[in-house]
Structures are given as structure tokens and as C-alpha cells.
């Protein structure tokens, strides 16, 4: 049995628009500004879909006027139905954005990291510190504009996987990365000492 090291309580604090504090055992939500980022992304996707849909509609109408396609009513009805579905989907997605953002979060536990996401279907992942291999800090243009980053945690095991933490303030993200790497290294050293002891 590997004796896991005892970690002192760590606290990560970011001062700015709201305060994000990570205290061991507590859930930390994504920064409120991340809602704006996701809303901009949804609006951009909606505009793209509208542009593609409009171009296809114009193309179909030109083909119908040139008798390439039959002049039937079902095509117009299908076009209207698709447009209605797109509008309803975008409105529904935008309405759920605040709740979806609040559902994003992480929690530091003594021997593992907990990550959660989802509103209708809640998904909670437990990541033992000893399985953490890499912690990447990434940010896109919108995230940099709001001083936010996302952490991608890659784990080892039978099936290697990754978990992403969204909406983390830049300074807090760097501190969290260093903390996770330090805890992973300490557990790794403890496991090595245990194996050496067993061999001896």
C-alpha cells in the first residue's frame, strides 16, 4: 500500500471582476466572464449557419426558376422548417448559457481533482493526482481579451484521457497548473519510495 503524502491546504486567489478562490474541498465555478465568451461563440455560429442557409436557399430558388428543380411546395416547407429549428435551437442554447457556465467547475481534494460540467446531464470526473501527466494552459483570442485561460489535464492509465477546466483567470490558472504538477510529482516520488522499500 502506497502511503500518500499529506498536502497542506492550498488557496488560489484572483482579484478582478469577482474573486475566484480555490480552497481544498470547495467547488470553484468558471469565471462569470466566460458566459460572455460562450455567448459570442454561439452568436458567431448562428450567423455562420444563417449565412450558409441563406446561400443554399438562394441557390435552390435559382435552380427552381431555371427548371433544374421541380417547382414543388415541399421544398419551401422544408426550408422553413429548417430555419425554424435553427432559430429555436440557438434561442434554447443561449438561454441555457448562464446555467451551463455556472455548472462548470473544479474542486481540489486531498488526493484527487474533481471536475464537473453539464446541466441536464451532469458529468463529474475524478482525477487522481498520481495519474496526471501533463497540464496545458491554453487561451483563444476571446479568452485572452477577458484574461481567462483553460487548463487541459492529460492523465495516464489503460486508456489515456484528458479533462479541460474552462473559465479560469490567467493568474489563477498558472498557479493551479503548478499546484497540480507539484502534487503529481510528490505522489510519484512517494510511490517510487514505496516500490523501493518493497524490493528491499
pLDDT in tens, 107-143: 999 889 999 998 888 889 999 998 898 899 999 999 9
Domain that holds residue 147: 11-30+104-199
> Quick one: 75 and 157 in the same domain?
no
Asked if residue 199 lies in contact with residue 192, where contact means CB atoms within 8 angstroms, the answer is no
Distance CA 106, CA 117 (A): 9
Residue 2 lies in a domain: no
Q: How many domains does the chain have?
A: 2
Domain CATH code at residue 173: 2.30.29
The answer to whether residue 5 sits within a structural domain is: no
pTM equals 0.71
Strand-strand pairing, 123-128 and 112-117: antiparallel
145 shares a domain with 59: no
Report pLDDT for 90. Answer: 79
Q: Are residues 135 and 71 in the same domain?
A: no
Say if residue 76 is exposed, middle or buried (CB neighbours under 10 Å; 0-12, 13-18, 19+): middle
Beta-bridge partners for 71: none
83 found inside a domain: yes
Q: How do residues 51-82 score in pLDDT, each as one tens digit?
A: 887 887 787 777 777 766 666 666 667 777 87
Give the CA radius of gyration of the chain. 24
51 and 145 within one domain: no
**Same domain, yes or no: 45 and 64:** yes
Q: Is residue 172 part of a domain?
A: yes
Amino acid at each position: 500500500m502506497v502511503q500518500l503524502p499529506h498536502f497542506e491546504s492550498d488557496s488560489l486567489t484572483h482579484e478582478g471582476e469577482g474573486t475566484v478562490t480555490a480552497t481544498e474541498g470547495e467547488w470553484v465555478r468558471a469565471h462569470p466572464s466566460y458566459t460572455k465568451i460562450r455567448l459570442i461563440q454561439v452568436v458567431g455560429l448562428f450567423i455562420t449557419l444563417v449565412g450558409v442557409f441563406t446561400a443554399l436557399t438562394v441557390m435552390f430558388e435559382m435552380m427552381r426558376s431555371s427548371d433544374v428543380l421541380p417547382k414543388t411546395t415541399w421544398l419551401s416547407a422544408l426550408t422553413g422548417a429548417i430555419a425554424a429549428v435553427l432559430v429555436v435551437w440557438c434561442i434554447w442554447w443561449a438561454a441555457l448559457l448562464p446555467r451551463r457556465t455556472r455548472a462548470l467547475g473544479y474542486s481540489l481534494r486531498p488526493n484527487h481533482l474533481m471536475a464537473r460540467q453539464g446541466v441536464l446531464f451532469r458529468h463529474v470526473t475524478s482525477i487522481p493526482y498520481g495519474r496526471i501527466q501533463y497540464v496545458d494552459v491554453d487561451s483563444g483570442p476571446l479568452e485572452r481579451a477577458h484574461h481567462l485561460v483553460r487548463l487541459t489535464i492529460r492523465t495516464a492509465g489503460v486508456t489515456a484521457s484528458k479533462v479541460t477546466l474552462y473559465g479560469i483567470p490567467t493568474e489563477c490558472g498558472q498557479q493551479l497548473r503548478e499546484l497540480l504538477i507539484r502534487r503529481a510529482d510528490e505522489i510519484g516520488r512517494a510511490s517510487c519510495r514505496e516500490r523501493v522499500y518493497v524490493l528491499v
